[in-house]
Structures are given as structure tokens and as C-alpha cells.
């Protein structure tokens, strides 16, 4: 996963029943969220203003890719007495209207493609060499 070079990842541990501002800057683009809960007796909500982005009830939510533009502060509301860890990756601007050329990109880099091509050619040479040796073999000439 390649993020823009100015992507920010924050980690926040909240405990008890609380509503807390996680990202005060606006606008921002939330790229992904992960929530880990300590026990099963609580509920954690992530809001962008009044819009609920993620609801995590009594479980651990794996990292979710969102790419959600948020024009309000991002808030976390926790209900229950245990702890929850919230990890959010974001950029402090609207990624859809910015002039940044990078966005969420899931694929191969040029170096990985070149390495894969060389590996493919090496294996191809080995396979054809084995096939040619197996069928044609080496001819042994005896001297008389």
C-alpha cells in the first residue's frame, strides 16, 4: 500500500466512557482506520462531524481502507469501561481535489516489475535448458 508522502498515522488509546477529538484539522481525508478493544463489554464509534464512519462493537476491527473526505473534526466516542486503541491514517487536506499525484495505490512498483521480469527470464532459460538436455542430450563419440 502506497500512501501520499505526507500521510499521517496517529494512534490513540482511550479509556472509559468518553468522547474525544482525534483529528481537529479540517478538511482531511481518512485513508484507513483500525480499532482494537480490550474487552467485549464496550462500543467505539468514529464520527466525522455527525456522520458515523465506523462502529466497533465488542471486537477488534482490522485495518479498513476508507478514502473518506471529512470536512469536520474526527471524533471518537467510547461507551464502556475498558480500553480501546484507535489507529487512523489520514492526510490533512481533501485528497480528491488536491493537486497531489499520489493517492491510494495498490500495485507493483517499477523495481518489482523489473525484478520479476529477470526472474522469469532466468527460470525460462533453466526450463528450456533442462528440456533440451533431456531430449537431445550430449552425444558421446568414442575414438577408435
Query: What does the pLDDT look like over 90-119, one tens digit per residue?
Result: 998 887 787 655 544 566 778 888 999 999
Of 97 and 34, the one with more pLDDT: 34
**How high is the pLDDT of residue 67?**
86
Collapsed DSSP state (helix, strand, coil) of residue 13: strand
Nearest to 88 by CA among 76, 101, 100, 104: 76
Mean of pLDDT values over 39-67: 84
Per-residue confidence band for 11, with pLDDT thresholds at 50, 70 and 90:
very high
Is pLDDT above 90 for 140?
no
Interatomic CA distance for residues 34 and 136, integer angstroms: 59
Which residues, in sequence order, are CB contacts of 76 under 8 Å at separation 6+?
12, 14, 19, 20, 22, 44, 45, 46, 47, 86
Interatomic CA distance for residues 25 and 32, integer angstroms: 16
Amino acid at each position: 500500500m502506497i500512501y501520499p508522502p505526507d500521510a499521517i498515522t496517529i494512534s490513540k488509546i482511550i479509556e472509559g466512557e468518553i468522547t474525544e477529538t482525534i483529528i481537529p484539522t479540517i478538511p482531511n481525508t481518512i485513508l484507513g482506520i483500525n480499532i482494537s478493544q480490550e474487552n467485549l463489554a464496550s462500543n467505539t464509534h468514529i464520527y466525522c462531524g455527525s456522520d458515523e464512519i465506523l462502529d466497533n462493537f465488542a471486537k477488534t476491527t482490522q485495518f479498513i481502507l476508507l478514502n473518506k473526505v471529512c470536512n469536520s473534526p474526527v471524533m471518537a466516542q467510547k461507551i464502556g469501561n475498558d480500553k480501546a486503541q484507535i489507529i487512523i491514517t489520514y492526510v490533512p487536506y481533501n485528497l480528491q481535489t488536491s493537486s497531489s499525484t499520489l493517492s491510494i495505490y495498490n500495485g507493483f512498483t517499477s523495481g518489482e516489475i523489473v525484478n520479476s521480469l529477470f526472474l522469469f527470464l532466468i527460470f525460462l532459460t533453466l526450463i528450456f535448458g533442462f528440456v533440451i538436455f533431456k531430449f537431445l542430450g550430449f552425444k558421446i563419440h568414442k575414438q577408435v
